[in-house]
């Protein structure tokens, strides 16, 4: 079994690394894991005020607050998981130099730790959906598919950035700027109709566009994902995962020497 699924051999290490990441994040914090919920809610409050009363973004019959939250929850997971995974190899440098194992277990565990955050804030999202009287639809059955595509994209990008960050620490330093720019190029804060028609195609090249729009379609409107943009997201995800695994494996042999 381990020859077919080699990662099963390291399941205990994966679990230990994941639990350590979860515990260490808020170990010396007064509010502890409450920050997992508080930070997105504070962001939601600020962004809702700015884009509801200052820029007045129109979202039709859907209140802007819940429209924003449905986009903000998956985006927060994407940004936090990529950020944590990018720096994970450096943070576990001692383990890399002393233990022989599949090194991609480290960024995988960093992503898994952020999955716990994602599940907690998703519970808050469900409560908001009830408060705003958003009825459940059969289209919710597509959520697992959408999430698998999102998780694949996050994993592929994390493998690429974490492996490069070992050799060029600048990656970690500019990552926050990259994620901020990427968020504004993704319809998280605004509907896709807000984008001028003459540049809408360029925004469609962003794989997160199809993912965020798919979440909103199936959760808020009870319709199918926008298949054109979502299919593009699937293609980009598969390409990113394959390239990420190839690049990580190519660089892996030098990690212990450089780190």
Contact 176, 76 (CB under 8 A): no
Residue 183 φ then ψ, to 5°: -60, -40
Can you tell me the mean pLDDT for 122-136? 91
CA distances from 50 to 18, 67, 184 (A): 36, 14, 14
Which tens digit of pLDDT belongs to each residue from 137-188? 999 999 999 999 999 999 999 999 999 999 988 898 899 999 999 999 999 9
- Of 240 and 23, more confident: 240
Rounded to whole angstroms, the Cα distance separating 65 from 152 reads: 28
pLDDT > 70 in the chain, percent: 89
Which tens digit of pLDDT belongs to each residue from 15-50? 888 888 887 766 655 556 666 677 777 777 777 676
Half-sphere exposure of 140 (CA within 13 A, CB side): 10
- Burial class of 139 by CB neighbour count within 10 A (0 to 12, 13 to 18, 19+): middle
DSSP at 82: H
- Here the tokens at position 218 are 């199936």
C-alpha torsion angle, residues 79, 83, 84, 86 (rounded to 10)? 140
Q: What is the reported pLDDT for 46?
A: 77
Q: What is the reported pLDDT for 35?
A: 65
- Here the tokens at position 245 are 């695994």
């Amino acid at each position: 079994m381990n020859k077919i699924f080699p990662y099963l051999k390291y399941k205990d290490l994966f679990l230990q690394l994941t639990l350590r990441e979860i515990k260490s994040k808020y170990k010396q914090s007064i509010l502890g894991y409450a920050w997992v919920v508080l930070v997105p809610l504070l962001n939601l409050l600020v962004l809702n005020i700015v884009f509801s009363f200052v820029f007045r973004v129109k979202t039709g019959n859907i209140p802007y607050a819940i429209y924003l939250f449905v986009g903000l929850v998956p985006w927060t997971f994407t940004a936090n998981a990529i950020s944590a995974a990018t720096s994970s190899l450096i943070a576990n440098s001692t383990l890399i130099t002393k233990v022989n194992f599949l090194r991609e277990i480290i960024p995988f565990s960093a992503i898994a730790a952020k999955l716990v955050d994602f599940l907690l804030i998703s519970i808050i999202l469900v409560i908001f959906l009830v408060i705003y009287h958003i009825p459940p639809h059969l289209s919710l059955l597509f959520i697992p598919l959408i999430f698998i595509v999102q998780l694949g994209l996050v994993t592929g990008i994390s493998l690429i950035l974490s492996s490069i960050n070992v050799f060029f620490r600048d990656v970690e330093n500019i990552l926050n700027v990259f994620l901020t720019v990427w968020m504004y190029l993704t319809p998280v804060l605004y509907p896709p109709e807000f984008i001028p028609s003459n540049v809408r195609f360029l925004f469609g090249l962003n794989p997160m566009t199809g993912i965020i729009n798919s979440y909103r379609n199936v959760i808020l409107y009870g319709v199918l994902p926008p298949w054109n943009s979502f299919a593009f997201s699937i293609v980009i995800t598969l390409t990113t995962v394959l390239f990420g695994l190839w690049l990580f494996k190519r660089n892996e042999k030098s990690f212990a020497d450089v780190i």
